[in-house]
Chains A and B, each alone.
Chain A
Amino acid sequence: MTHAPQPPALQLQDLRKTFGKTPIIRGISMTVPAGERVGIIGPNGAGKSTLFHLISGRIEPTSGQIALNGQSIVGKKPYEINRLGLSRSFQITNIFPKLSVFENLRCGVLWSLGYKYTFLKFLMDLDDANDRAQELMESIHLDKKRDTLAMNLTYAEQRTLEIGITIAGGAQVILLDEPTAGMSKLETRHFIKLIREVTEGKTLLTVEHDMDVVFGLADKIAVVVYGELLAFDTPEAVRADARVQEAYLGSPVTSTSAVSAQEA
């Protein structure tokens, strides 16, 4: 029995974005097979967040192709892309501040369970949505804060909730934009463990600044510098890549030692 080859979860082809006359993304092509975890690194202003905005439909590319599970999503609205199974988090916490933790998660669940814009059903009767939100809340360890308004959570809890909302709809492709930004070392460690748990088996793209995080979490590393993909390979290969060391990690000698020092 032969299966048709599964299309890659995400495929970018010569993706470009220009703001005015300034090119931000200058021809990025990459293929991410289903289930792979990709860490995206690069210096500030390299275009990592812009790349996420392009993929998630927040802004439209100037040219190039983006395919999600083999289907082109260029020109689609964020909610259409989300319905096709791609979900993202934001660098700046992006939650529903005046809703409780539970409500935040339930809002993330509703569409995927097919409730759409209905106003003829009561939320309390939607057992599947309530159960799913409850499960999620437990899996991100916020069940003790069930009824707390999101705006009253601590920063780390808000970041966690953000991840919860992102995975709530059951999307198979997850984009996390600097999930650990602003967290302490200890918080980051817990958080990375959590991300690993809740995104098990999914395709994951993470923008990260923290080297520990990226090398610990990703199967592959993509290095973006000045809007171009400098390298896209396994962590070991990327670490050994002289161009990457020069462009991003600093001069070759010190960076290698720095990375191995962190590793140790």
Chain B
Amino acid sequence: MPFLTSFFLRFETRRAGAYMVHPMDLGRWIIWGTYALILLLVPLVFTSSLSQTLLSQMGIAIIVCLSYNMLLGQGGMLSFGHAVYSGMGAFLAMHTLNLVSDGWPLPVSLTPLVGGLCSALVAVVLGWVTTKKAATPFAMITLGVGELVWAMALMFPEFFGGEGGISGNRVAGSKPFGISYGPQIQLYYLIAAYTFVCTALMYAFTRTPLGRMLNAVRDNPERVAFVGYNPQVVRYISFIIAAFFAGISGGLAALNFEIVTSEVVSGYRSGAYLLFTFLGGATFFFGPILGGILMVLAFVLLSEFTKAWLLYLGLIFLFMVMYAPGGVAALLMMNLRLAAFGHLRRLWTCYLGLAGTALVALVGAAAMVEMVYHLQLNVAMGPELRFMGATLNAHGVSSWFGAVYTTVTGVGLFELCRREFVRQWGQANEDIEQEIKRRETA
């Protein structure tokens, strides 16, 4: 795979912002073309109404996670209040939508943009204080601002709609070419268009002077001040831009759900953005795209499977922070690198072992979690529950023994596999380092 190899030889040295000077190459066209094609074709593959709903929400989540990563991954700003901006965008887009229903001559498709612009305005006001400091003080201030807006949401029911939120009807105003955005599929394509354009714009941002100085501020704000830039201004402008995209995402959510409640500005929501941006991978531009997809899958699908979904989510998060702090994106790229140098083959038995043993451990642990949840929540329904085709007795010794035994066995075998994997992984990467050195000197 000479193409892949040369890509990764460049990638080796170019990640974390060391791009450019070369003209747009073919690879980039292929990547963006594929992205557009996926957005375009995916509802033709998954045609059920559930998948259309999911896909719409994924587009919305992708935009907001990417905007969050402008702060987290590119600017080193750990925000606990990003939902303030997506949420304000949602409210303002909803009010705009209702004005359109009342006869304002604005196309419905532009209401998310209005949401984005309004969010940017909110960020202009709140952002200067927020970006005054970096690192921990920044995180604390975002938390404070988040609480402030959350409290205001309950204080001003005229604007935020109180407990019931405010609702609207997205079938409003003119209908060019018969597009009313009534059917979900029409709205999906609007969301997909926004997703593509926003992704492209946010990617473009990473290659501008401000985008690069944002990386510099992340790395070393003091040094930035000594090369002529005010680090706070760099953070502030970037913060406003991130809020703009978050607002667009909120506006799209308003169109999608046709209702906005105060929950959208909550700290809980902000936490979800942080969690899934991190899970997707903050060190790569495309990481949050994966994060957005995971977010929707977890919130909509995982919560259908089990009542204990938040617990599982917490476990996954813990596991990722400890073993894969680069998120899914970093895992993917590390393996692609291995594949490019032809070393992935020797690892696949390890992966098989890891997956198998992890599954065993997971089944055991999940059985226990489900039994505990069953005991706590479904006492009236008796001690028996169905779990993966088997009937467990939450009061029965054998069920508990079986679950514990499965877990312990799984964890033990997993640890053995993990050690072997770590050894082989290190070996493979060492070989690659040597290969690169060899090519450099050649």
Enumerate chain A interface residues (CB-CB to B < 8 A): 56, 58, 77-79, 82-83, 87-88, 94-100, 102-103, 106-108, 110-112, 115-124, 126, 130, 147-149, 165, 168-169
Contact = CB atoms under 8 A, between A and B. Distances in A.
B228 A83 contact: yes
Contacts of B207: 122-124
13 contacts: A79-B227, A87-B226, A87-B227, A99-B216, A110-B212, A116-B209, A118-B210, A123-B19, A124-B22, A126-B209, A147-B13, A168-B227, A169-B227
Interface in B202-255: 204-205, 207-213, 215-216, 218-220, 222-230, 233-234, 237, 241
Contacts of A107: 212-213, 216, 224, 227
B41 to A, nearest CB: 30
Nearest to A129: B209
Question: Interface SS of chain B: helix, strand, loop or mixed?
Answer: helix
Contacts of B204: 122
Given A94-B223, A96-B215, A102-B18, A111 B210 contact: no
Contacts of B212: 99, 103, 106-107, 110, 123
B226 A149 contact: no
Contact of B219 (A77, A79, A97, A148): A97
A147 B12 CA distance: 9
A89 to B, nearest CB: 9
B43 interface: no
B222 A94 contact: yes
Contact of A119 (B20, B210, B218): B210
A108 B66 CA distance: 27
A83 B207 CA distance: 24
B16 interface: yes
Contact of B14 (A106, A119, A120, A147): A147
Contacts of A58: 222
Nearest to B13: A147
B16 A119 contact: no
Given A98-B17, A103-B18, A117 B220 contact: no
Interface of B: 10, 13-14, 16-23, 204-205, 207-213, 215-216, 218-220, 222-230, 233-234, 237, 241
A122 B22 CA distance: 12
A203 to B, nearest CB: 17
A117 B227 contact: no
B238 to A, nearest CB: 8
A95 B216 CA distance: 9
Contacts of B10: 147
B225 A77 contact: yes
A121 B213 CA distance: 13
Contacts of B21: 102, 124, 130
Nearest to A133: B21
A64 B205 CA distance: 44
A29 to B, nearest CB: 25
B220 A96 contact: yes
Given A119-B241, A122-B204, A98 B229 contact: no
A43 to B, nearest CB: 26
Contacts of B211: 119
Nearest to A130: B21
Contacts of B230: 77, 79
A94 B21 CA distance: 25
Contacts of B225: 77-79, 82
A97 B221 CA distance: 12
Contacts of B216: 96, 99, 107
Contacts of A119: 205, 208-211, 237, 241
Given A94-B222, A99-B16, A99-B17, A115 B209 contact: yes
A165 B219 CA distance: 14
Given A99-B17, A117-B210, A147-B10, 9 more contacts: A78-B225, A87-B227, A97-B220, A98-B215, A98-B218, A103-B212, A119-B208, A124-B22, A124-B23
A82 B209 contact: no
Contacts of B20: 122-124
B205 A98 contact: no
Contacts of B215: 96, 98-99, 103
Nearest to B205: A119
A78 B13 CA distance: 31
In order of increasing CB-CB distance, the 10 nearest A-B pairs are: A111-B228, A100-B18, A147-B13, A124-B20, A119-B210, A96-B219, A78-B225, A119-B208, A115-B209, A82-B228
Contacts of A117: 209-210, 213, 229, 233-234, 237
A82 B224 CA distance: 10
Contacts of B210: 117-119
Determine which residue in A96, A97, A118, A130 has the highest number of CB atoms from chain B within 10 A of its CB, and name it: A96
A78 B212 CA distance: 20
Contacts of A88: 226
A233 B20 CA distance: 49
B209 A123 contact: yes
A95 B220 contact: yes
A77 B96 CA distance: 43
Contacts of B227: 79, 82, 87, 107-108, 110-111, 165, 168-169
Contacts of A130: 21
A86 to B, nearest CB: 9
B213 A149 contact: no
Contacts of A95: 220, 223
A29 B21 CA distance: 47
B209 A100 contact: no
A107 B221 CA distance: 12
A79 B13 CA distance: 30
